[in-house]
Amino acid sequence: MQCSRLSQAALNSMTEGARILEADSYGPKVYLLADGNILKLFRRKRLFSSALFRPYSKRFINNAAELIKRGIPTLTVLQVFELTAPGMTAVLYQPLPGQTLRQIAGGEGFDWQQNLEPLVEFIRRLHTAGIYFRSLHLGNIVVTPENEMGLIDVADMRFLRAPLPRKLVKRNLQHFARYIAREELNEGFPMQALEQALLPA
């Protein structure tokens, strides 16, 4: 996908009235625009890094394309921009419709004991397809209106030609467990049952 130049004035105009979904010490990182699309900004954090040759925005775009190729629902990239600030790019995309599992699980009456199996099957599908998503957690898994699970925030992943080896499955579940602990969901989420299902003895 060809990268277009986006001036600061054009960026300001595009994000006018937008809702900031994510920010860091440098400023906004993710905008929900008035038309429902999302603009995600990528900053190169160091002067010399691999991002100099392979920008994070390109990884994001390539990962989304590879997920679609492997049959996993995800966001739809619309445009990529080079910004005026040094080392900055941005991706405009249409979000994957639906709700995250984090949102769904927060609903009244939700019970993980009755809803764990679809999550197990989805994660197993990712691992079987050779997809190692370091940021795999409830906030990055979306359930679509067609009741399919898909992925968002896809910059941080690797694709293997074969199913993930056991050590990578284990590492992926460790990342997942840290998210559950950080979000203080240990009491309600059956982490042990998830691990047993995906890493049988």
What does the alpha-carbon distance between residue 98 and residue 49 come to, in Å, rounded to a whole number? 35
Q: Which CATH number fits domain 99-198: 2.40.70.10, 3.40.50.620, 1.10.510.10, 3.30.70.20?
A: 1.10.510.10
Residues contacting 59, CB < 8 A, separation 6+? 155
What digits encode the pLDDT tens for the residues 115-149?
A: 999 999 999 999 999 999 999 999 999 999 999 99
Query: Which CATH superfamily groups domain 3-94?
Result: Phosphorylase Kinase; domain 1 (3.30.200.20)
Q: What's the whole-number mean pLDDT along residues 16-30?
A: 93
What digits encode the pLDDT tens for the residues 89-105?
A: 999 999 999 999 999 99
Say whether pLDDT at 47 is over 70: no
C-beta of residue 140 within 8 angstroms of C-beta of residue 152: yes
Higher pLDDT, 200 or 45: 200
Tell me which residue of 115, 119, 30, 107 sits closest to 75, measured CA to CA: 30
Alpha helices in the chain (DSSP H): 8-14, 56-69, 101-105, 112-128, 166-182, 191-198
Say whether pLDDT at 51 is over 60: no
Tell me which residue of 3, 131, 144 sits closest to 77, measured CA to CA: 3
Q: What is the location of CATH 3.30.200.20 in the chain?
A: 3-94
Give the global pTM. 0.88
